[in-house]
Amino acid sequence: MEANVQAEKGQLSIHTDNIFPIIKKFLYSDHEIFLRELVSNAVDATQKIKKLADFGEFNGELGELKVSIKLDEEAKTITISDRGIGMTAEEIKKYINQIAFSGAAEFVEKYKEKEDTRGNIIGNFGLGFYSAFMVAKEVEIITKSFKDGSEGARWICDGSTEFSIEPAEKTDRGTDIILHIAEDSEEFLSKYRLTEILEKYGKFLPIEIEFDEKIINNPTPIWVKAPSELKDEDYLAFYKELHPMGEDPLFWIHLNVDYPFNLTGVLYFPKLKNDFSARKEKIQLYSRQVFITDEVKDVVPDFLTLLHGVIDSPDIPLNVSRSYLQADGNVKKISGYITRKVADKLAEIFRNDREGFEKKFDDIGLFVKYGIISDEKFGEKAKEFCLVKNTQGKHFTFEEYTAQVKENQTDKNDTVVWLYASDLQKQDAYIQSATKRGYDVLVFDSVIDPHFINGIEYKIEKTNIKRVDADTLDKLIEKEIKLESVLSKDDEEKAKNLFEQTLGGAPKLTISVEPMPTDELPVVITIPEFIRRMNDMAATSGQKSMFGDMPQMLNVAINANHPVTQKILNADENEQKQLVRHAYNLALLSQGMLTGSELTAFVQQAVSRL
C-alpha cells in the first residue's frame, strides 16, 4: 500500500500581521501595566549608563539621572523620559523593530563576565515596549545614544507593522517615549490615575521617578540595605510607609539570601489578636524593586500570608507579563527558606527573651498555631516554642506542660490528659471542680484552637486533650483507684430510673450514676469531647457539622455521693420529680445551657420560693 503521508520535519511560520495584535492587546491582561513596562525600560537604560561608567566604557558626565513622566492632557500624550544610554538608529532597528529581541537580556549576557549585572536590569523578554500600544494609537521614540558622535533618531509607529525612522534634533543623551493616547484609553490622561499606577508599581524603583514635579519613589527601601546599617526606627518607619494606618508591628525579619537563589525582603509580624481579618494581601512581591503582585499565596505557605511586608526576588519565575507567578522548584525552595527563617526568628526570640515572647504570644499565637497545623516543617520547629496558657495565665511549652501535669493527670492507660476550657465564664463550675482536684486547666479560646487541638493531639506522644466539661472528672482522667459510691446498687438503679422517667421528654440524654466528691454538683451535665469538637471545627470553617449545630448528645451524671441524691431517693413521688427537675436545671444552668422559656420558668419557680 502506498503511503499518502510523507514523514517530514519543518518550521512553523508566523505571520506578523496576525501575531502583532495579540502581543499588543492580549499579552498583558491589565492595560495599566504599560506604564510599568516603559518606566522599567527607562530605569534599565539608566542603570546601564551607570554600569558602563563603572566599567570605564562611558567617561562623560552622568549628571542627574532621574526618570520623568509628563502628562499633556490637551495634546493627549504621556511622555516617559530618561537620561540613560539611549539608542542609535541601528539599535532602534535591532531592539525595537525586532519584536521579542531583548536588549536587556543581551546587555546582561555581554557583561556577565564583569559582574552579575542581572541584579539591576529588569527587562528580559523583549516584549514590554509593545504594551504601549495597548493604550496608544501612535508611539514615538526620540532618542540619542550616549556613544560619541551619535545623532538623535525619531521612530514612529501607529500600531500597524509599519514604522518610520528619521534623524531628529536631540541635544541630550537618553530617550523620550511619547504615547499618543487612543480614545478608548483616555482614562490614563489623568494625573490621579497616573499617580496611582506609578505608586503601585514604582514606589521602590531604584532610580528616582518624577511625576507632577514630585519624586514618587523611595529608590533605596530598607530591604536593599544591609541589616547592620539599620535601626529599629528604620524598620518601623518603613512599616508606616507600607501601612500608614497600621498599628506598629511586634517584630520583623530581614530576609537576605543570595544562594541558591536571590531573595531579600522584610517580613513584619502584625498584632493579630484573635482575628483572621488582618490577613491576606499584606505581603508585596517585587522583582528587582518593581512591584509584581500582592497575591503571594503561590510563593509562601498560607499561614505566612498573615504576615506583612515585602519580598523581592528576581528568581521567582514570572511569565512574560510579569503579573503571574509560575509555581516551580525555585518557588518551593523560596517558600521553604522563608518558612525556616520565620521559625528560626521565633525560636531566637523565645530563647533570648522568654518574658517578651510570652507577652507577645497572645498576638502571634494564632499565627504559630496556624503554622503548626498547616505546615509540617514549621510545625517541627514550632513545637519547641509554641506556648499554651493555663487559667492562671501561666505559659508553658508542650514539653514543660506535660512535665507539669504528668504526675496528677496521667490516667490508668498511661496517657497524660490535658484539660482545657474554651470559655472561662461559661465553664467556670467545671474549672473549679477540676482545680479542687488539683488538676490544671488550659485556656484554648481562639478561633483556631479547635483545629489546633485536633492537629497537635496526635503529635504529642501519649496525650489526650479534653475540654473540662466533656465528661465527669473521674471519666476525663480515669484512675486505677476509684471513688466508692455510698449508694447500694439498688439505689443507684432507682435514682437512674427516676431521672429517666422524669426527664424522659428531653432529647438524647445518657443518664448514669457516678460516685463523685460531695463538693461537686448533685447532677453534672457534659457534652462528649468528640462531637463537640467536630461542631466547633465545623463552625469556624463555615461548614455544617455532620452532627448538626447543637450538641445533640448530653451526658447526665448523677452524683451518687451527694446528699441531694439521697434526699431525692427518700422523698415522696411528687417531691422527687420536683427535685430531679431542679437538680437537672441547675446542672444545665452551670453549663450555660438553660435558656429561653425553660430559664424563665426556672427563675419564676425560684422567685416563688422566696
Q: Whose Cβ is closer to ligand ATP: residue 42's or residue 338's?
A: 42
* Cell numbers placing 563: 446528699
Would you count residue 125 as binding ligand ATP (CB under 6 A)?
yes
Residue of 340, 361, 341 lying closest to 350 (CA atoms): 361
- In the complex, the smallest distance separating the C-beta of residue 319 from ligand ATP, rounded to whole angstroms, is 10
Q: Is 4 annotated as a binding residue?
A: no
Please indicate if the annotation marks 245 as binding a ligand.
Answer: no
- Residue 233 cell numbers, joined: 526606627
Residue of the chain from 41, 262, 446, 526 that contacts ligand ATP (CB under 6 A): 41
Note the helical H segments in 423-528. 428-436, 449-457, 473-476, 489-502
- Determine whether the annotation assigns residue 175 to a binding site: yes
Residue 337 as a binder of ligand ATP (CB under 6 A): the answer is: no
- The yes or no reply on residue 95 touching ligand ATP (CB under 6 A) is yes
Piece of the chain touching ligand ATP by CB under 6 A; list 127-135, 228-236, 468-476, 554-562 = 127-135
Residue 433 CB partners (closer than 8 Å, separation 6+):
473, 520
Nearer to ligand ATP, 37 or 312 (CB): 37
Return d(Cα 239, Cα 504) in angstroms, integer. 62
Amino acid occupying residue 574: N
Phi, psi of 573 (to 5 degrees): -55, -45
User: Which strand (E) or helix (H) includes residue 421?
Assistant: strand 416-421
C-alpha cell at position 163:
514604522
Q: How far is the CB of 54 from ligand ATP (least distance, A)?
A: 18
Smallest separation (angstroms) from ligand ATP to the CB of 200 = 17
> Shortest gap between Cβ of 76 and ligand ATP (angstroms)?
21
Minimal distance, residue 190 CB to ligand ATP, in Å: 23
CA of residue 547 relative to chain centroid, distance: 31
Residue 82 marked in a binding site: yes
Measured from the CB atom, the residue of 23 and 516 that comes closer to ligand ATP is 23
C-alpha distances out from residue 52 to 84, 101, 153, 186, Å:
10, 21, 22, 38
Residue sitting closest to ligand ATP (CB): 103
CB atoms within 10 A of CB 295: 16
Residues 156-175, mask of contacts with ligand ATP (x by CB under 6 A): -------------------x
Min CB(542)–ligand ATP separation in Å: 42
- Determine if residue 46 is labeled as part of a ligand binding site: no
CB of 302 closer than 8 Å to CB of 279: no
Give Cα separations from 583 to 570, 573, 586 (angstroms): 15, 15, 5
Report the amino acid identity of residue 327: A
Is 129 a binding residue for ligand ATP by CB under 6 A? The answer is: yes
Grid cell digits, residue 9: 520535519
Q: How far apart are CA 361 and CA 136, in angstroms?
A: 54
Segment 101 to 120, residues that bind ligand ATP, using CB under 6 A: 102-104
End-to-end alpha-carbon separation of the chain, Å?
111
Is 81 among the residues that bind ligand ATP (CB under 6 A)? no
d(CA 33, CA 136): 13
| Contact pick of 71, 128, 339, 382 for ligand ATP (by CB under 6 A) | 128
Nearest approach, Cβ of residue 131 and ligand ATP (Å): 8
Which of 49, 77, 76 shows the shortest CA–CA distance to 63? 49
Q: What does the per-residue mask of binding to ligand ATP show for 477-496, with x meaning CB under 6 A? A: --------------------
- The answer to the question of residue 126 lying near ligand ATP (CB under 6 A) is yes
Task: Establish whether 504 is an annotated binding residue.
Answer: no
Collapse the DSSP code of 312 into the 3-class scheme (helix H, G, I; strand E, B; otherwise coil) and give the result: strand
Contact mark string toward ligand ATP, 18..37, x via CB under 6 A: -------------------x
202 contributes a contact to ligand ATP by CB under 6 A = no
Q: Which is nearer to ligand ATP, 81 or 427 (CB)?
A: 81
Backbone phi and psi for residue 246, each to the nearest 5 degrees, phi listed first: -70, 150
Residues tagged in the binding site annotation for ATP: 37, 41, 82, 87, 102-103, 175, 322
Contacting positions for ligand ATP (CB under 6 A)? 37, 41-42, 45, 82, 84-87, 95-96, 102-104, 123-129, 175
